[in-house]
Chains A and B, each alone.
Chain A
Amino acid sequence: MLDTPIVHFDNVVKKFGSFTAVEKADFQIARGEFLAIMGSSGCGKTTTLRMLAGLEDPTEGNILLDGKKINGKPTWERDTPMVWQSLALFPFLTVQENVEFSLKMRKVPKGERRERARKWLDRLGILEFADRNISQLSGGQRQRVALARSLVTEPKILLLDEPLSALDAHLKVRMQSVLSGLQKDLGITFVYVTHSMSEAFSMADRVVIMSRGKIEQIGTPEEIYREPRNRFVAGFLGSSNVFDGRLKSSGNEVWQIETEHSSFNLKAPSEVQKTDGSPVAFAVSSENMSLATIGTPWAGNSIEATVVGGEFAGASATVFLETDQGQELKVQKGHDELKTVDIRAGQKLLVHWLPEHCHVLPGE
């Protein structure tokens, strides 16, 4: 029993009229895992979470919780508490009463209810506010009330829908460590929906990246970061320089790719098999590209491009360029490294990078 995944999305489809919000979601969530579902707004991540919570019904496919099919089971009969983006605390109840709510719904006797609620308030460090009204609390304190309210029934799984999006940067980081600490201590499964890469990658064991209802990639943060599967994921992570071409020669060490610009060398990927002549797409992270004046001798891959503009705010500068073939390139560098080149709109520069910084996109 312990080997069965806590959640199994079995080819789940959700349609709203003719609009497909979630397209064939098929994945499992392991017991005790911290899973983040990430994507921009409207990608279907919240719909996926709401289907798990029982607030939406899948159009096709099955959702299994703990090995049992839960389609059509109303949310009040599942034990899948959710922490809402708006927190959705009850304004007419005190902190204590808010936390007691789900126990009251389960007809737990008054004394025990009080006891258990106070235990969780204490655990989250807000016991002193037990008798306050919600309106008297700060953002961070409300966040803790929302957590306590969802955890008080000691569920096997906790769903979180962008719970930190309303907090300021400092508080966000602090709550992140509260959340991951809590998840480790409790050993329960967290399913965390967010649009923020930093939240997903810093807390989650595995990340699901969604776009337009489709799951683009599932993997550990490291896997995804190192080996984006396709151009969407690569772009989403900021390594937005993707080149399309054909495999000209595939050696053991080096692949040669013919593109519309010129031919590039890249380190032969171990996990991707392709025959000569087949189409290949590869990505180069914007941090791994460098700029130089035209004519500088360079052994690796290089391409000429015209500067379109730049952003020089913050610790690093981002330069946007365009090749003669109209492909857009993004180069991100420290200010020091850019001192030697003349970055003005219209200026032609040499963009160069090493073969080992090319990553073949297996999903393209």
Chain B
Amino acid sequence: MTGNRNPLINGLLKLHITLCLIFIFTPIAGSFVFSLNSDRFPSLPLGSFSTEWYRLIWEDPLVWAGFFNTLLVGACVAAIATLLGFGGAYTDFRYKFFGKPVYLALALLPPTIPVVIMGLAMLAFLSRVSLSGNVISVIIAHGVMCSPFAMAIIRLRLSQMDPDLEAAAWNLGGNEWVTMRHVIIPFTKPAIYAALFITMAVSFDEFAVAWFVSGLNETLPVKVLGFLQGQVSPRINAIGSLAFVSSISFIVIAQILMRNPESKPS
């Protein structure tokens, strides 16, 4: 790794990064430490080491139900959002049409809408079409929120593609669908995988919209709020740690996939 040539600036930059990382990770690390602490309340000095809280959530059917909901939603959302995102990105890559900037702005808009407004709007809309309070409603809402992420990732990859590549495949005898299968998808494959994992991670952690639309089929983050409202239990630390480990794994996998796009997909 190359740093700044001035050792003072270099040192300060490194210090800055370190402080940022500490700022971000201290609460998470704290939560992790307290999840393994036997005391009822998170306070210093620490009590003894204990896996009691993990055992409690392991035995709690409500936590499991929430976890499975989250997983189901995440998997469906990843598939739907990546498909939509791919379509959006490919449209941008392939076609020139009137109002394209507007199309792009609208397609990439959802993450900029405040989640509370998004959640309310989703609830209002979905209840009108009788789809609220359902796992499907969470999937729809998260699909809307996540597809811009998938689109951005796949668009980036498509922008690295030689624009002649697709026409070359047509010229060599592949029609548009065959070319899609043999050229466009293989080329964007790393980005497609990355998009699957990122959208899954986003859906996994999303709370506000899920809270509005999930009804009785709560996802894990919504369940956590339920716990907090009832009683402060170190079980939350345990759930938080597990949720953190799973999301960060998705992100890490996505990063690895995006890092080496020229590697030959099998």
Contact = CB atoms under 8 A, between A and B. Distances in A.
Asked if A and B are interacting partners, one says yes
Interface stretch (A98-106, A163-171, A291-299, A324-332): A98-106
A149 B172 contact: yes
A241 B265 CA distance: 59
A133 B169 contact: no
B265 A74 contact: no
Contacts of A101: 169, 172, 174, 182
Interface in A101-155: 101-102, 104-106, 133, 135, 149-150, 153
Nearest to A135: B262
Contacts of A150: 172
| Secondary structure type dominating chain B contacts | helix
B171 A82 contact: yes
Contacts of B171: 53-55, 75-76, 80-82
Nearest to B185: A92
B199 to A, nearest CB: 23
Given A88-B164, A88-B165, A88-B168, A74 B173 contact: no
Nearest to B183: A90
A104 B171 CA distance: 13
A91 to B, nearest CB: 6
Given A76-B170, A82-B171, A92 B265 contact: yes
B167 interface: yes
B173 A84 contact: no
A300 to B, nearest CB: 53
B162 A88 contact: yes
A363 B37 CA distance: 96
Contacts of A104: 182
A177 interface: no
Interface residues of A, number: 29
B264 A92 contact: yes
Contacts of B165: 88, 90
Interface in B40-61: none
B174 A105 contact: yes
B161 to A, nearest CB: 9
A86 interface: yes
Contacts of A81: 171-172
Contacts of A92: 186-187, 189, 264-265
Contact of A105 (B162, B167, B173): B173
A3 B189 CA distance: 49
28 contacts: A54-B171, A55-B170, A74-B175, A75-B170, A76-B170, A76-B172, A76-B174, A76-B175, A79-B173, A82-B168, A84-B164, A85-B164, A88-B164, A88-B167, A90-B186, A90-B187, A92-B186, A92-B189, A94-B264, A101-B169, A101-B174, A102-B172, A105-B174, A105-B182, A106-B173, A133-B262, A133-B264, A150-B172
Interface of B: 162, 164-165, 167-175, 178, 182-183, 186-187, 189, 262, 264-265
Given A53-B171, A133-B262, A135-B262, 16 more contacts: A55-B167, A75-B167, A75-B171, A76-B174, A84-B164, A84-B168, A90-B165, A91-B262, A92-B187, A93-B186, A94-B264, A104-B182, A105-B169, A105-B172, A105-B174, A105-B178
